[in-house]
Amino acid sequence: LREARVDLVCLAGFMRLITSTMLDAFPMRIMNIHPSLLPAFPGLNV
């Protein structure tokens, strides 16, 4: 992603935890859409 000079990472339906390595590489530039009805289904480990 760095080689492609990505400015913003958008995730939709990504059902994994985002690693600290990824978060550190793109601080404040990751958007994740939660594929569930909130607050009834908040997700894993909430």
Q: Is 28 helix (H, G, I), strand (E, B) or coil?
A: coil
Nearest to 36 by CA among 45, 28, 44: 44
6 part of the active site: no
Q: Which one from 6, 10, 29, 34 is the annotated catalytic residue?
A: 34
Angle in degrees, CA 24, 26, 30, rounded to 5: 115
Q: Which residues are catalytic?
A: 34
